A = this chain, B = another copy of it.
Amino acid sequence: EMPAPPARLGLCAACHGERGRAQIPGAPNLAGQKLDYLREALKQYRDGRRDVALMKAAIGPVSDAELDQLAQWYSAQTPVAASQP
């Protein structure tokens, strides 16, 4: 069933929304994304293979366990079709 919202969700929600619907241009939807893909992407933002300063800064202080919680939260969200508001 739905995991509890992670403590640091607010950090991500500014751009990705609390339920994984992008809030700003350029940010991806995360709802229903594959968990293994989210984990790998986060790793690449952290180690710089994905060179996005904002993401590196955002996840810098976040523990691996919390990162995994955030990945699980977003993967568990129900995506909505783009056309809906």
Contacts and interface: CB of A to CB of B under 8 A. Distances in A.
Interface of A: 22, 25-29, 31-37, 40-41, 44, 49-51, 75-76, 78-82
Contact of A79 (B32, B35, B36): B32
A1 to B, nearest CB: 10
Nearest to A49: B51
Q: State how many copies of this chain the complex holds.
A: 2
Q: Is the interface of A mostly helix, strand, loop or mixed?
A: loop
Contact of A28 (B25, B33, B49): B33
A28 to B, nearest CB: 4
A81 B32 contact: yes
Contact of A37 (B28, B34, B50, B81): B28
